[in-house]
Amino acid sequence: MVVVERECEEGELLACDGRMSLSAFAAGMKDSVSIAVGYIPVAISFGLAAVHVGVSPGVAVLTSMLIYAGASQFILVGLIATSGSLASIVGIILLMNLRHIFYGPAVLSKLEKTNRRFPLGMLAAGLTDEVFATAVGKLGQQAPVVREYWYVGLQLGAYSSWVLGTVAGAYFGHDWLSQSPVLSKALGFVLPALFFALLLEIRKIVPFRVLVAAGIATLLGLVLLPAYGAIIAGMVAGVLFNARKG
């Protein structure tokens, strides 16, 4: 608050603090543009994929609004398409998002420990991989008293782009699919392409042997189990093999 007091005339501290908070929020929204550029095309693909397997546009948008979990939503659509059980759907999505247990404390450590301006639930709701990476890199550049406002702006910008992209894909996707048989067939490659991209990304941080073990377990699972069972088998095999060789 010392910096704020020096920048404000006496008696105008509250108004100046409000201006700084709004400016920080706007800066967070601006910094979310780079995230939105990546989110919108993927969100459109999700909306299209959801409609393609029979999910209503409203449910697709509601999924993005409530779950907001990127790859997990694609898995959800895939499990719905293969008639996966509710238990397997919930279990897989929870397993995929366990990493957020570590994201939260890392971000929270960079925010002020006193004078909390937003509920912790609100600060956690919009935490994604991309928001986490951006926040860790840029939170330290913000004044401590306005970091929460910047962070909320970053979250809101990223969240809005994901939801709006889903709206575009879900509500206009039906027309696109009906007018373009090629697009309809190409949707079959959306999930494989997405997960292949994710595979290339995690290849940098995951030992190759772990990926091979998970891949073999998944392929065997496809022979013996439903698709959602194969996914679980691959995830469990990867975790166990990494723990054994670690």
The reply to whether 64 and 43 lie within a common domain is: yes
CA angle 195, 34, 95 (to 5 degrees): 35
Number of structural domains the chain divides into: 2
The reply to whether 7 and 67 lie within a common domain is: yes
- When the pLDDT of each residue in the chain is averaged and rounded to a whole number, the result is 78
The reply to whether 170 and 198 lie within a common domain is: no
CA distance 85 to 80: 8
The reply to whether 76 and 154 lie within a common domain is: yes
The reply to whether 79 and 14 lie within a common domain is: yes
Alpha-carbon torsion (228, 234, 237, 238), positive or negative:
negative
At which of 154, 183, 212 does a domain end? 183
pLDDT in tens, 121-143: 888 888 988 888 888 888 888 88
Highest averaged pLDDT of the listed ranges 4-18, 197-211, 219-233 = 219-233
The reply to whether 72 and 157 lie within a common domain is: yes
The reply to whether 165 and 207 lie within a common domain is: no
**What residues make up the domain containing 120?**
2-183
In which band, very low, low, confident or very high, does the pLDDT at 166 lie, cut at 50, 70 and 90? very high
At which of 166, 183, 200 does a domain end? 183
Q: 119 near 148, Cβ under 8 Å?
A: no
pLDDT in tens, 91-109: 777 777 777 777 888 888 8
The reply to whether 115 and 31 lie within a common domain is: yes
Main-chain phi, psi angles of 119, to 5 degrees:
-60, 145
In which band, very low, low, confident or very high, does the pLDDT at 17 lie, cut at 50, 70 and 90? low
Which contacts qualify for 70-75: CB closer than 8 Å, 24 or more apart? 70/42, 70/128, 70/129, 70/162, 71/96, 71/194, 71/195, 71/198, 72/96, 72/97, 73/46, 74/46, 74/49, 74/190, 74/191, 74/194, 74/195, 75/231
The reply to whether 178 and 193 lie within a common domain is: no
Q: Which of 126, 159, 195 is nearest to 36 (CA)?
A: 159
CA distance 22 to 31: 14
The reply to whether 170 and 193 lie within a common domain is: no
At which of 153, 183, 213 does a domain end? 183
Q: How much is the pTM?
A: 0.68
The reply to whether 204 and 162 lie within a common domain is: no
Q: How many CB atoms lie within 10 A of CB 39?
A: 25
The reply to whether 142 and 207 lie within a common domain is: no
Q: 168 near 16, Cβ under 8 Å?
A: no
In which band, very low, low, confident or very high, does the pLDDT at 183 lie, cut at 50, 70 and 90? low
Q: How many CB atoms lie within 10 A of CB 190?
A: 17
